[in-house]
Amino acid sequence: MLRVTLQQLSLWQVKEFRLDRVTAHLRLPSVRAQLVSPLALAKWGALAWWLVDPAWSSARSSLFALTTVYAGETAWFVREIAQRAFRRPHLSPRIGILLSGVMLAAALLTVLGRVLEWPWTLTLLALDRGLFALVAAIVFGTVPVTAWKRRRIIRRAAHRMRAISGLTTVGITGSFGKSSTKEFLALLAGARFHVLKTPANTNTDVGIAQVILKDLTEQHTLFVCEMGAYRLGEIARAAALVHPRIGILAAVRDQHLALFGSLEELARAKGELLRALPETGVAIVNGDDPMCVRLSRESPAARVVRYGFREGNDVRGEKLSVRRDQFHLTVRSRGTTHQVDVPLLGGHQAGNLLGAWAAAEVLGVSPDELAARAPILRPLPRTMEPRTGPRNTFVVDDTYSANPDGVAAALEYLPAAAARTTVVILTTMIELGSASAAAHRRIGETLRRVKPDLTVVTARDFARDLIAGAANGGSDVPLHIVVEPRPERAFSRIEPLLGAGTVVLLEGRIPESLRQKFLSSA
């Protein structure tokens, strides 16, 4: 019972206590299969039968069957803990309230069972089957208090923003690349400005508000603010809080399509940043992305700056050359040409650099200064981050997040690593809605082109689509792709290949216990 409770709490926490994201999770094929598994159906059948005839639940056969089931689940729970394969929630006030609520409800149900003279087996099974609804009800019960606290935090942050003079705010959004662009801009502008940036993937209105209250001071002159959304209006609320003068739109793709329903709705949400800019503001968009260019026309900002690799962009990249530990790029802007060597992995990072470069120029940093500072750029942790693994294996940690374009770009980097042996460990992607199957087939097609020696997929959802793409539509499973959700077994398949001549790409949110095995240099 404890295992299921912690799983439920962890799910709600990872999904930010949002019903839309939890609902999208419940639509995953693996989750649907669990909901109608033989064991789940047997539990529901037993509960229904025992409610009709409680005396039958006292029969020895019933007691033995239920005891065996829960003993087995307990043993599996202990095994998961021992192998560090169990995902538990991080302690927080809200998790504490939810856990206390579940314990109180369990106590009340136990009392009710005694009053109704239920056997303990019936009480336990009723709690087991009703646990998801119970946790959901408690989550919804905390919403009014949470909403009140959120409004209070945002009001205080808005007051703090109004009290700071001489602060320029840059908002950054996009389906991918926004976190790296934020980090690069903070570094490129760091010589001219006292910079505050939102940390890690903090990008909601309340998260931004907490950063303002905790870290913003009178000394700051530039606030670089990442903005994300799972529904319409969320970026607009964040923009209303910080009033950006410059807005960067990095890309519009099908990430989180399950929540928005259509690419058009997703684009409207991303475009909220550009529409929030003042007439004196500047909209900076990826000129290689037609959707970004279209959305820039909806902005009231009088000036639009485009960046990318195509002709006509204001900041344009040329002659991109990707190597094992860096990329070389020619940047043309404002009538100047600069060649830079940047210690970042993957050609897709060049696009993020161009976006940050364009914003820094708007802020008054000269192209000469930017070219001089480009070599100091470093990757965001867990974003194409080079690490040393067991037996001097070259490990690329790209587990920060996953989206179709980002995964494909990470895979395309592998030939540049020039390794004797190439291993890919990836998980499948979530919240893509109707685009899920096609997106995973495209990843499979990329794997077929890159030809890693071994690919281990750590989730079963959409693994068939990925394998179909890798097999070029054939029915045979490629020998170099295996599906192994169990971290210990996945590592045992890969361990013989580790060594100085091997590169291992950790892609997407693979199990943390498996990730840690590749970050030890032992």
- d(CA 357, CA 230) in angstroms, rounded, equals 28
Per-residue model confidence as pLDDT tens digits over 290-329? 999 999 999 999 999 999 999 999 999 999 999 999 999 9
In CATH, 385-518 is 3.40.190.10: no
Residue 310 has phi, psi (to 5 degrees) of: -85, 160
Question: Which pLDDT belongs to residue 504?
Answer: 97
CATH C-level class of 161-376: alpha beta
pLDDT at 140 over 80: yes
Give percent above pLDDT 70 in the chain.
96
Tell me how far apart the alpha carbons of residues 348 and 25 are, in angstroms, rounded to a whole number. 29
Which among 414, 400, 392, 409 is positioned nearest to 505, based on CA atoms?
414
Residue with tokens 């991303």: 270
Q: Identify the pLDDT of residue 502.
A: 96
pLDDT digits (tens, 9 = 90+) for 119-131: 777 788 888 888 8
Q: Is the model more confident about 104 or about 118?
A: 104
Same fold, 161-376 and 385-518: no
Q: What are the pLDDT digits (tens) for 250-266?
A: 999 877 777 888 889 99
- Any idea what DSSP says for residue 106? H
Could you report the per-residue pLDDT of 143-158, keeping only the tens digit for each?
A: 999 999 999 999 999 9
Collapsing DSSP states into helix, strand and coil, what is residue 341? strand
Distance CA 238, CA 154 (A): 9
The answer, yes or no, to whether residue 29 has pLDDT greater than 90, is: no
Please state the separation of Cα 63 from the chain's center in Å: 43
Residue 85 neighbours by CB under 8 Å, 6+ apart: 486, 487, 488, 511, 513
| Distance between start and end Cα atoms, the chain | 37
Domains of the chain by residue range: 2-141, 161-376, 385-518
Which pair of structure tokens corresponds to residue 442?
């495209």
Per DSSP, what are the bridge partners of residue 304?
283
Segment among 26-30, 245-249, 481-485 with least mean pLDDT: 26-30
- pLDDT of 57 above 70: no
Mean pLDDT across the chain: 90
- Helices 120-141 and 60-82: angle between axes, nearest 10 degrees: 50
What six digits make up the tokens of 422?
């190439």
Query: What's the pLDDT at 276?
Result: 97
Q: Are 259 and 224 in contact (CB under 8 A)?
A: no
For the ranges 163-177, 226-240, 254-268, the lowest mean pLDDT is seen at: 254-268
For CA atoms 143, 144, 146, 150, give the dihedral sign.
Answer: positive
As a dihedral over the C-alpha atoms of residue 80, residue 85, residue 86, residue 91, rounded to 10 degrees, the angle is 130
pLDDT, residue 517, reads 92
% of the chain beyond a pLDDT of 90: 61
What is the reported pLDDT for 478?
56
Do 403 and 175 touch, CB atoms closer than 8 A?
yes
pLDDT score of 65: 77
Of these ranges, 72-81, 364-373, 483-492, the one predicted with the greatest mean pLDDT is 364-373
